[in-house]
Structure 1
Amino acid sequence: MAYNCIDPPAVGGAGEYYIHDWDVCGVNHAYPDPGVEWEGCVCYPPPVGGAAAPGTPAYYHPIAPARVLDTRDGTGGYRGRLGYGCKISVRVTGVGGVPAVSVSAVVFNATIAEPSRNSYLTVYPSDVGLPTASNVNFTAGQIVPNLVTGRVGSDGRVNVYNASGQTQVIFDVVGWYINTPGDPPSAPSPTPTPEASGYGFYHPLPPQRIMDTRSGLGWGGKVGHNGNATVTVRGRGGVPASGVTAVALNTTVTEPTAGSYLTVYPSDASKPVASNLNFGPGQTVPNLVIVGVGADGKVNVYNAVGQVHVIFDVVGWYGGAGGGLLFHSLPPARIVDTRLGLGSGQLGHNRSAGISVTAVGGVPASAKGVVLNATVTEGTGASYITIWPSDATRPTASSLNFAPGQTVANLVMVKVPPNGSVNVYNAVGQVHLVWDVVGYFE
């Protein structure tokens, strides 16, 4: 019997339990009777695969956000909530402006909605086994986004695995990595002479705050209901005044008056059907945003409902070759889990720790930047963590914000100094750290 994971057949009698052949996960699965409560299915994913070689050096190509998966309406070929223990294989090349071939990794905002239970999603290449890693962590009823840099399988797809309950899944693609240079940046006339080596090189920076509406930095006051803020990102925080195709911003919302979402997009593009951050009233929520820069050096920030403060901490920019780095994708690999003694111990109140991020998880000792999904869990207080290069002063910036007991994930792009380590600071209470590396810059 063949059917997909998120639409099981309506068979059987009340209270009965069934086992059927599973032709996607590859083994039998079981689920409760649909008339009582079905949780999608219990399908057993393939075993963890062996180590895969790093991806070839790749250049970044930003695009305006485009929705390529939405299980609420069938966009991307799947309709209905993803069940527990299940995976779907989602095409991320040849859609949304991403080329059909030669793409090594895709960058997209992954959002979950309508989850029935506490769970997590893992996004991984379609041609490797399920790794010990996670990308989005959530509790029942939440809407949670997180940026994902996902290595692409040989068939142009990524797998999405849900650990528990049922959840809707949404992907908004914002760019891709490929082995050919990118186009020159948008710029007013006269356009600067293009660099011979092309564009798409990454230039990491120590985090620096360039927008904080609470103090009027970059924009004065909250972003209002159905409102836009236009923010200058070129020529600030270490980003040069020209030659910039995209910027990486750790974006945080705080003190929202209503449940809403933010969309960040180039100032010279139309507002897309996409979101970068989703949040409830009173929440403080972070998410990394990689966004193309408009010809005027600015990006737009749209807020749908209510009023909210917005904070930008710039962590890097994309442009020409001078001092820039190329990206090497990796299948996700866990390099820190303080619950298990991997890395430092539980991080204490107003404490910092140095953690090595090279020569682990497939990252070479020569790496000059890493991309990792950083998760905090079991925090004892409302706090934030900051991750920064170990040879720099701790910046006025945050990487993740969390409440007591929350499990929160955020993608982090951090410059790596010659000693191969980065620092992490926790402001309040104690918290466990879990880091999954997904690539590096060299």
Structure 2
Amino acid sequence: MVPLPRRTLAALLVLSAALCGSALPASAAPGSTGDLLSVGRTLQYASGVTGLFTPSATGTFDVTTGAPGLDSITVSATGYSSSAAKLTVTAPLDRPTLEVGSYTAGGAAATAQDAGLALTTANASCPGGGTIDVLDVTHDADGLLTGIALDYEITCTRGSSLQGTLRWNSDEPYRLTLVRQPPYLRERPGVPAPATVTLANAGSVEQTYGTSTLDTGQAGGTAEITQDGCAGVTLAPGASCTVDVSVVSNGSDNYSGLVRTPDQSPSGEAVALVRLLPVLDDAPVVSARPGRASVTLSTDEQGGTYRVWRWVRDSDQTQVADAVAFPWTDTDVVPGTTYSYSVARLTGGLETSVGSASVTARPLAVADGAAGEYVAVDPVRVADTRDGTGVRKGAVGPGETITFDPAATGDVPGSGVTAVLLNVTGTAPTAATSVRVWAAGTPIPGTSSLNLAPGQTRPNQVVVPVGADGRIALNNGQGSTHLLVDVQGFYSTADGEEGGGYHPQDPARVLDTRHGSGAFAPSEERWVPLTGVPDDATAVDVNLTVTEPTREGHLVAWSGDGAAPGASHANFVAGQTVPNHAVVPVAYDEDGAPGIAIRNNSAGRTHVLVDVQGWYDDGGRPDGLRFAPTTPTRIADTRTTDRPLGDGRSVPGDDVTLPSGVAHVVNVTAVSTYYAGHLVAWSGEGTQPTTSTVNFVGGETAANLATVRASSRNRIAVTAVTGAPVHVVVDHVGVFY
């Protein structure tokens, strides 16, 4: 029998959906792992709906056949996260046994001459009418249908059509293409907006693809295919290729077009929709704020309603809200997953051509009690080998380990603590050495917290879990050195003291005495306003940098309430530039503005720089981040490959996997320096900050702790700004979630 001519369909899109076989009804027939039902819609310029159903683990794939005497088969696919479908095929009454060949279907019920064909999906109802191509069919000795392979096309409501493939107990090959469309593009007029279409061979045999073309529907700009990675390519099952497109908006209208790629599926081609909404000068500026198992979108506009789309990396864009007011909270999200959103303003209930730029957010895990909340304290000294405070008196020798109790002064509780924030200072070392800090009673880590040159005094902030007995251990590598430890705060357990959540930000410089106010005089104290920090902050996360000091000394930073504490944050000698990370309690001036106090404990003058990296709230915000210490892990060390970083080069590479989080705490070390320079720790997305994390001069090893906001891909970057290559070591010590 000669197959009937078939209308060329615009696309067969296939969205994977996992199913499982369940207990079969009495009239059901057994299947096999090769069973498959696909559903695809002729793609218009607005949508394309498809499903691919196979027996697996999360749905129900039921097959029911008719009694001998009239072949019929009903496949019901239900319980899927993405879709559902029910297909029924019945032989013509005058030809009750299905054979290989083509059939016309006049409706859901079979007639004497026509087969019956009906399809229902989660998104469409198709009462019948179309064609059926039977490619393979088997019966048992009693004439009961036992296997079939067919392709179908069916007319649905409003003139649309669906087509697909059915395989049941058949080895007949099938050819399908999964099309991953790009999200809706958002870009300003005249600026090229790149998009990538991914085609994957979802069939059982290899397919060869032809040259792609681009058909424009809504001509709101110009578009072109910039790279056709599928033309002439033969893909094995499961393999994929990409087609790159560039669209330039005309600034007044929406653009839509179809990327058509010939394939060997029943439809003859795979089609993807590319759409661009221009971002105009009056487009809404949207921000996304992560919450606990939620994301809240807001805009700077007053009033108005919006349509919202959402997608995750490498997936299609889905509309998730329509005609909603802002702020709007999305609660249908999974903590730890990065979501992207775009928004269009509605006017009179219709979408305008003014679309927002996309924003991303990663919803936070639901917190357990006070777990990971931070409690700040004014710095207090808990260990000093020079006078025997908290430890035995005397320098720490080579390979020697000492321990101390961070709760000895009463500022840190004896229980309910997961980690403490310390400032560790080494002074008067007799040899180049490294100092390691870790929870007492656990194995010594392979990473260092502090590096010292002979005769040098240098501090570094350390966040460290407490041991089972509540104590902290310090180990000196070479020579002998004195060690000083100041507690700055602690992180609570779930049943510990309530504190505040952390809010990272892009580094912002709030003080630079080289410009304006002038250097700190000997013993001078100053109040430093914290511009941009809100009025519910309890502590601020800062990087303190001393530069051009005329005499040796140290800085101390505190809330400003009362006298300066007997602790230090940044120790220095004449001419040295020293950065150090600190978390400082916040106080408020008579106008209610937040700030901190800084004292120059030196007989000389010095310049001071303060960069704000984030702040801690008072516990009243649901989006405050919690902290979890991690086992110190080296995520980058250029010495292992003998490839130091040149100017503008970064580590770690994309092969490094970080624990899921919004921000990461790392210890960054510059090693084998030749000239002065600095390192910048940042997300690696957007514009590189002008602030510094580690400053160094030639011939020294310098380290500093940094809290780094993660990129949308959960990455961080440490970038060198230097006149000569420098080795860089990065140790991961904790994550904010």
TM-score range, shorter-chain basis? 0.7 to 0.9
Matches for 1:328-339 after TM superposition, within 5 Å: 328-339=628-639
- Are the structure 2 counterparts of residues 210 and 358 from structure 1 closer, same or farther at C-alpha, using a change threshold of 3 Å? farther
Gaps of 5+ in 2: 1-367
Is 1:432 aligned with 2:719?
Answer: no
Kindly indicate whether the alpha-carbon contact (under 8 Å) linking 2:371 and 2:494 is maintained by their aligned counterparts in 1.
no
Give deviations 1:92-113, integer Å, cap 9, x for gaps: 1343500001211011110111
Aligned twin of 2:523: 226
Distance 1:125 1:172 in 2: 16
Aligned twin of 2:607: 309
Is 1:414 aligned with 2:708?
Answer: yes
One-letter amino acid of the structure 2 residue matched with residue 388 of structure 1: W
Structure 1 residue 86 displacement after superposition: 1.1
Please point out which of 409, 412, 419 is paired with 1:105. 419
Give deviations 1:359-389, integer Å, cap 9, x for gaps: 64xx42x211111111110122110111111
More relative contact order in 1 or in 2 (CA 8 Å, sep 6+)? 1
* Larger Rg belongs to: 2
Structure 1 residue 139 displacement after superposition: 0.9
Give deviations 1:205-244, integer Å, cap 9, x for gaps: 111111101112xxx01011011111011x42xx22x110
Please point out which of 456, 473, 489 is paired with 1:159. 473
Aligned twin of 1:172: 486
Distance 1:367 1:87 in 2: 33
Aligned twin of 1:4: none
Per the alignment, in what secondary structure is the counterpart of residue 156 of structure 1? coil
Structure 1 residue 304 displacement after superposition: 1.7
Matches for 1:38-437 after TM superposition, within 5 Å: 57-179=371-493, 199-216=499-516, 220-233=517-530, 235-236=531-532, 239-240=533-534, 242-296=535-589, 297-305=594-602, 306-319=604-617, 320=619, 321-341=621-641, 345-349=643-647, 351-353=648-650, 355=652, 360=657, 363-364=658-659, 366-428=660-722, 429-437=724-732
Superposition TM-score, scaled by structure 1 size: 0.78
Aligned twin of 2:240: none
Kindly indicate whether the alpha-carbon contact (under 8 Å) linking 1:208 and 1:396 is maintained by their aligned counterparts in 2.
no
Kindly indicate whether the alpha-carbon contact (under 8 Å) linking 1:382 and 1:404 is maintained by their aligned counterparts in 2.
yes
Q: Percent identity?
A: 37
Give deviations 1:149-185, integer Å, cap 9, x for gaps: 11111110111110001111111111000025998xx
Structure 1 residue 407 displacement after superposition: 0.4
Aligned twin of 2:144: none
Structure 1 residue 404 displacement after superposition: 1.0
- Are the structure 2 counterparts of residues 232 and 356 from structure 1 closer, same or farther at C-alpha, using a change threshold of 3 Å? farther
- Are the structure 2 counterparts of residues 328 and 224 from structure 1 closer, same or farther at C-alpha, using a change threshold of 3 Å? same
Structure 1 residue 392 displacement after superposition: 3.2
Structure 1 residue 424 displacement after superposition: 2.3
Distance 1:357 1:268 in 2: 45
Give deviations 1:107-128, integer Å, cap 9, x for gaps: 1110111111110100011132
One-letter amino acid of the structure 1 residue matched with residue 544 of structure 2: T
One-letter amino acid of the structure 1 residue matched with residue 727 of structure 2: H
The count of aligned residue pairs is: 361
Distance 1:358 1:132 in 2: 21
- Are the structure 2 counterparts of residues 333 and 133 from structure 1 closer, same or farther at C-alpha, using a change threshold of 3 Å? same
Aligned twin of 1:5: none
Structure 1 residue 270 displacement after superposition: 2.2
Kindly indicate whether the alpha-carbon contact (under 8 Å) linking 1:65 and 1:272 is maintained by their aligned counterparts in 2.
yes
Distance 1:157 1:200 in 2: 24
Kindly indicate whether the alpha-carbon contact (under 8 Å) linking 2:416 and 2:496 is maintained by their aligned counterparts in 1.
no
Aligned twin of 1:6: none
Distance 2:500 2:440 in 1: 25
Structure 1 residue 268 displacement after superposition: 1.8
Structure 1 residue 354 displacement after superposition: 5.0
Distance 1:222 1:61 in 2: 32
One-letter amino acid of the structure 2 residue matched with residue 432 of structure 1: H
Structure 1 residue 391 displacement after superposition: 2.0
Distance 1:287 1:334 in 2: 20
One-letter amino acid of the structure 2 residue matched with residue 283 of structure 1: Q
One-letter amino acid of the structure 2 residue matched with residue 77 of structure 1: V
- Are the structure 2 counterparts of residues 285 and 310 from structure 1 closer, same or farther at C-alpha, using a change threshold of 3 Å? same
Aligned twin of 2:325: none
Kindly indicate whether the alpha-carbon contact (under 8 Å) linking 1:182 and 1:200 is maintained by their aligned counterparts in 2.
no
Aligned twin of 1:30: none
Per the alignment, in what secondary structure is the counterpart of residue 415 of structure 2? coil
Per the alignment, in what secondary structure is the counterpart of residue 339 of structure 1? helix
Per the alignment, in what secondary structure is the counterpart of residue 74 of structure 1? coil
Superposition TM-score, scaled by structure 2 size: 0.47
Distance 2:655 2:388 in 1: 40
Kindly indicate whether the alpha-carbon contact (under 8 Å) linking 2:628 and 2:735 is maintained by their aligned counterparts in 1.
yes
Per the alignment, in what secondary structure is the counterpart of residue 716 of structure 2? strand
- Are the structure 2 counterparts of residues 390 and 160 from structure 1 closer, same or farther at C-alpha, using a change threshold of 3 Å? same
Aligned twin of 1:11: none
Structure 1 residue 435 displacement after superposition: 1.2
Alignment RMSD (CA, Å): 2.0
Distance 1:331 1:78 in 2: 28
One-letter amino acid of the structure 2 residue matched with residue 223 of structure 1: F
- Are the structure 2 counterparts of residues 426 and 104 from structure 1 closer, same or farther at C-alpha, using a change threshold of 3 Å? same
Distance 1:174 1:356 in 2: 33
- Are the structure 2 counterparts of residues 278 and 314 from structure 1 closer, same or farther at C-alpha, using a change threshold of 3 Å? same
Per the alignment, in what secondary structure is the counterpart of residue 434 of structure 1? strand
